Structure 1
C-alpha cells in the first residue's frame, strides 16, 4: 500500500512532477520554488493553493524576487497551473452558485483556457469571455450541455445555475434580479441558519441550501402552465397588422369611450352630434380591451383563416363565432389544467358591454340575450380559481403571513446594522461599500414602510419630498408626499392619486383632499421592530433616512430638488419591482420559511389582507386597510376567513368590549 504524501514539501514536488508530465517541463522547476515563499502554518497545501487569487500570486512572485535577488518571469504562470491542479481536486460542493463564477471555477478545475474551451464548445472567444465575466449567458441549452461535457461536469451542473434552464424565472424580470435574489438568499440564509458565512459553510449545509434554491423554481401554477402552452401557439394579431378600416374603427371607439368630461374634444363631439359614452374608461382598461380584441382577431385570421380585410366589430355580433373562439381557447390546454379562467369571462363581459352600449351607436345589432345566456353557462361550468398570488402563496397558507414579513424586515435591518452600526446613528463606510450600505438603508426603510402601509406600487415610485417645505421640526407635504406633525412623520396622497378615486371608498372626499398615513402610530403592529435586542421605531429610522441617507443617495444618483424622489434609484416601476424581488430573499432566508418566490410590491397587499382576514374574520377591516371595496376583499380573500365566522364574530365583539358581557 502506497502512503499518500501529506508533507507540504512532498506535495509541492508531487505537483511539480504532474505539471511536467501534463504540460510544460520547464514550469516544474518554478513550481518547486513555492517552498521558498510558503507561509508558515499551511497544513493543507491544496486548499491554500486553491484559495490564491491573481493578486496573491503576484505578491508571492515579488517575495520570491526579494529572496533570490532576481525575477522569475514564469513563476506566476507556474503557480497558476499549480492552483488549477488544486482546484481540480475540489469537489463539486465548492462550485459557486453564480453561473459566471461557476464557469470560471470549472475552467480552472479542468485546466482549460479560453481559446481551448471556445474551440471545444464551438463558440467564439468573445462570446465565451462575456459568459465568464457575467456580461451574458448562453442562449441555448445545447451550448450549456457542451460546456458541461468539455469541462467534465455532471449534466445540469452549469444549467442549474442559469435562470433559463435549471430554474424557471417565475415572477422575476431580468437575470440581474434573479442573481441578486439567489446571492442574497444564500448569503443571508447561511448566516442566519448556520451562523457562518457562505464561504465557511460545510458541504452538507451548502448542498441543502442549493437544493432548496433549486426546488424553489420548480413550482408552477395553473396560470404559468397555461402561459407556457399558449406560447407554443401564438395567435395574437397586433394592432399594427390590422387593416386600416379595423384600426380606424377601434380608434373611434377609444375616442368614444375615453374622452373625459370637460375637455374640448368631448365638447366638439357633442356639438357635431357624435356619440358620447356615459362612463369614461381609464387608459389601462382600454389597453386591456385592445389586448382582448387582438387575440380575437388573431384567432379569426390565423386559426379560422378569415380574410384580414373582413375584420371589424361586426364579427362580435356572430354569437357562434364568439362561442367557437372561447371553445378553442379552452380546448388548447388539453387536460393539463382547467381551461376556463376569469380571462374568458372578461372577454364575454367586453363583448356584452359593446353590444349594450357601443354597437347600437354605430348601427350594429347583436344577440345580447344569447351572450348573457353564454356568460351564465360559463360561470355555471366553474372557473379555475387557482390563486394568482403564486410567488407568496406558501406564505399565505401559514397562520400569520404578516409575521414572516416582519421577521424578514427585521433580518434586513440586522444585516444593515452589521454594515452601519446603530441604525439611528449610522456610520456609513467611506469606501466603495458606501453606496451599497446607503441603498440597503433605503430599501429597508421602504420595505418596512410599504408593509406598514400597503399602498400600490405607484405611491412608492412616484413619491416625492418637497424640498421647499422640508425643514427641521414640523412641515407640510406641499407638492410632495411627506409631512411632519408633532414630531411624527406621515405620508400624504391626494384622492386623485388613487386608482379607485371615483369609487365609494372616497365618496366623502374631494379630488385634492389628502389621505394621511402616519409612521408613528403607537397602535400600529409594525410601528416598532426589534433587532438583536434593540427596539427601533419606524418613525425614528425614517427621520434618519430623510436627514442623512436620502441627501447622499440623491446626490450620488444626480436627483436634484425641489421635488426630490423619496426613494432615489427606485423612482420607476421597474426599479421598484426589482428591489422588492431581490430583497424578498430576506424573507426566504428565514429558518423554516415557506418556499416562496421573489415577490413584488403588490404582494404586500395580498399578505396584509390575508393576515387581517385570518386574524379578524372581517372583510371590512381588510378593505379599510387596502382602501378598497369589501366586494374585492371577499372575491380574493374569503378563502382565508375562519370557517366558523359566526362564532368568531361574537368573540371579536366580546374582545372589543374588554371581555365582559
Structure 2
C-alpha cells in the first residue's frame, strides 16, 4: 500500500537535500515556505508549482512571509532558488521550454550555475549571455551554442535546435539593389544546406553561396533588358502636373467608365442623359490606364511641347511617333514591341470604339485607323515575355509547387527559432527582434494562404478583418471583412464583385455580393497541414495570428474593418514582402539555379503548372485559379508539347485499364 505524502513531508525532503548539497541555513529558510503555501496546494502539485515560480513570484512569497513573521528573511528568496534548481534538475529534457532564451534560463537553473560561472566554462562573454537570456539578441554561431550545451550538461542540439533562425550576422553583401534578398538567402541557405549559421560556414562554402547568388542576377528577361536600357531621365508627366482641362477630362472619363452596374451613381447619370460604359472598369484598370496617359502626355509635352488633352489621342500620327520614340531607346538586339505597347493600343481602341468615351465627349474618333495600326504592329511580332520569368527554373521541374511548400517550411522553422512553439509563441524582449518576429509570423501566414489559395494580389493587400464581427475564440461571420470562422474553422471570403473576372461565366450563378469561401482547414486539401517539427495546420496559425500577432501589428485605434495583413495594404508593399521571403525558396537544397525574387502573382503560375503537370488537366488548374481553361492555357500553366503528348497517352491507357 502506497501512502501519499503531505506538503510538509515534501518540503522536509527538499530541505534535507538542500542541507546536504548547499548548507543548513538554506534548508532552514526554505522550511518557512509552509507558512505561505497557496491554499489547496497538495503534495502532488508542489514540485510543479515550485518549478513554475519566477523571480517576481519568489519576491511576492518573501513579502508574504515578512508579513506573517513580522520581520524580513533576507535569504528566503535565495533558498527558494536553490530548491527550485533541485526540482528542475530532476525535470526531463522534454519539459525544456521551446524558445531559446527560456530554454537557456531553464538549463542554467537546472545545472545550478551562475551566469558568471557559465561564461567562464563556455568561453562566452557574460554580457553576451545576459543579452541572450533577455532576448535582446540571438547567437550567431552554432559553435558557441555547442559549448554552452557541453557546459550545462545537455545533449548535443538541445539548445541549437531552438535556434532555427540564427542571430544577426555580417554577410559582406555589397550589391544594394538586392541586399535584403541576398542576406536572407545566405542566412537561410547556410541553415538549410549545411545545418549551421553563416558565421560557422567554411570559407569554400561561403564562396559557393556568394557565387550562386551573384550568378542569379545575370539571368535577365527581355523585359528586364528593355528596362535597364531605357533612357534614365524620367519622361512621365504625373497626373498632378496635368493642366486643369486635362484633369477635368480624366475625371469625366472616370465617372463614365467606373459607375458600377445597378448603382445609384450609374442610374443618376443615365437619368441625366449622360453616357456610361457598357461594362464598368475596376479601380486597378483605371490606375493602369491613367499611367498609360501619363507616359503619353509626358512624351507629348517634354519631346514635342504639346499641351496634354484627349484630343491628342485622336491623332494617329502622334501615336505612331510616340511608339517609334519609345523603341529608339533600346539596343538593336532587344525586341522593342511588348504588351506595354499593345496594351496602349487596346486602350485607344476602347476610347475610339462605338461606345467609347471619345465619342461620348464629342471628339472625332478614328477606330479603323487604330485597328490598322494594330494589324501592322502584329505583323512585327509582339514579345510576350511571360510573367513567370522569376520562377521559370521551378516550372521546369516535375512538381513546381513542392518548392513553394518547402520554402514555407523553411520560413516556419526560421519563425520557430524566433518565437519557440508556433502555437504558443514567446516573442523576443528586444523591440527590434520582436518586430521582426511579428512580421515573419504575418508573412508566413500570408505565404501559406497564397500557396493554398493562389488568389490575385489585390485579394491580399485589400483583405480586411471586421473587428466588430470577429470574436476571440468564437465563430464569427466575415461581416464587412474577408475572414470568418465557422465550427472552429477559419475561411477567407470574397464577394463576386471583388474578382477581376466577375463578369465571366465562372461566376454566372452568383450575385454581386454573394460570398465565395476558401477554407483554411480541409482534410482533402494537400497543403493546409504540414509537418514542421510536428504537425501544424494553417488554421492553428491563423488563430494565433489573430489573437496575438495581428493586434500588435495593428497597434490599436481601429474599430471597424482593419487590414488583415497590417503594413501590407498596398500592392507595392505586398510585393516587396513576398519577394524578400522568396529567398527561402532560393535557399533550399537542390533547388534549380537562377530563382529570382518573385511576387504574389508567381504563385498562380506555379500552382497552375504543378496541377497540370500532375493531372494533365487544364480544367483542374482552371478550377483552382477560378479562371477559364483558355486563360490558364494561355497565361499560367507551363505545359510543353511533349508533356501534352505524354499525358494524352496516359489518359488513354488509364481508360483502357478501367474498361478491362
Q: TM-score range by the shorter chain?
A: 0.5 to 0.7
CA shift at 1:376, angstroms? 1.8
State the match for 1:441 in structure 2: 441
Given candidates 158, 161, 166, the residue that maps to 2:174 is 161
Tell me if the contact between 1:613 and 1:641 (Cα under 8 Å) persists in the aligned partners: no
State the match for 1:326 in structure 2: 323
State the match for 2:632 in structure 1: 633
Structure 1's unaligned 5+ residue stretches are 1-38, 43-47, 57-94, 103-159, 170-177
State the match for 2:334 in structure 1: 337
CA shift at 1:550, angstroms? 4.4
Tell me if the contact between 1:559 and 1:568 (Cα under 8 Å) persists in the aligned partners: no
Q: In 2, distance between residues paired with 1:572 and 1:238? A: 19
CA shift at 1:560, angstroms? 5.2
State the match for 2:370 in structure 1: 371
Tell me if the contact between 2:408 and 2:444 (Cα under 8 Å) persists in the aligned partners: yes
Q: CA RMSD in A?
A: 3.6
Q: TM-score, normalised by structure 2?
A: 0.67
Tell me if the contact between 2:187 and 2:197 (Cα under 8 Å) persists in the aligned partners: yes
CA shift at 1:657, angstroms? 10
Tell me if the contact between 1:466 and 1:477 (Cα under 8 Å) persists in the aligned partners: no
Report the secondary structure of 1:232's partner residue.
coil
State the match for 1:109 in structure 2: none
CA shift at 1:334, angstroms? 3.0
Q: TM-score, normalised by structure 1?
A: 0.67
CA shift at 1:53, angstroms? 12
Q: In 2, distance between residues paired with 1:312 and 1:561? A: 43
CA shift at 1:453, angstroms? 0.8
State the match for 1:451 in structure 2: 451
State the match for 2:27 in structure 1: none
**Deviations along 1:486-510, whole A, 9 cap, x unmatched?**
4433222222332333332211111
CA shift at 1:383, angstroms? 0.9
Are residue 184 (structure 1) and residue 197 (structure 2) matched? no
Report the secondary structure of 2:256's partner residue.
helix
State the match for 2:381 in structure 1: 382
State the match for 1:522 in structure 2: 523
Higher relative CO (Cα under 8 Å, sequence separation at least 6) belongs to: 2
Tell me if the contact between 1:550 and 1:568 (Cα under 8 Å) persists in the aligned partners: yes
Q: In 2, distance between residues paired with 1:241 and 1:550? A: 39
Tell me if the contact between 1:580 and 1:601 (Cα under 8 Å) persists in the aligned partners: yes
Report the secondary structure of 1:403's partner residue.
helix
Structure 2's unaligned 5+ residue stretches are 1-118, 130-167
Report the secondary structure of 1:231's partner residue.
coil
Report the secondary structure of 1:515's partner residue.
strand
Report the secondary structure of 1:161's partner residue.
coil
Distance 1:351 1:430, change over 3 A: closer
Tell me if the contact between 1:466 and 1:479 (Cα under 8 Å) persists in the aligned partners: no
Aligned length: 499
Report the secondary structure of 1:470's partner residue.
coil
Q: In 2, distance between residues paired with 1:196 and 1:287? A: 47
Distance 1:525 1:291, change over 3 A: same
Distance 1:411 1:639, change over 3 A: closer
State the match for 1:355 in structure 2: 352
Q: In 2, distance between residues paired with 1:543 and 1:241? A: 47
Report the secondary structure of 1:476's partner residue.
coil
Distance 1:479 1:323, change over 3 A: closer
Q: In 2, distance between residues paired with 1:541 and 1:256? A: 44
Given candidates 327, 343, 347, the residue that maps to 1:346 is 343
Tell me if the contact between 1:260 and 1:280 (Cα under 8 Å) persists in the aligned partners: yes
Tell me if the contact between 1:456 and 1:601 (Cα under 8 Å) persists in the aligned partners: yes
**Deviations along 1:193-215, whole A, 9 cap, x unmatched?**
11222111111111222222222
Q: In 1, distance between residues paired with 2:121 and 2:484? A: 61
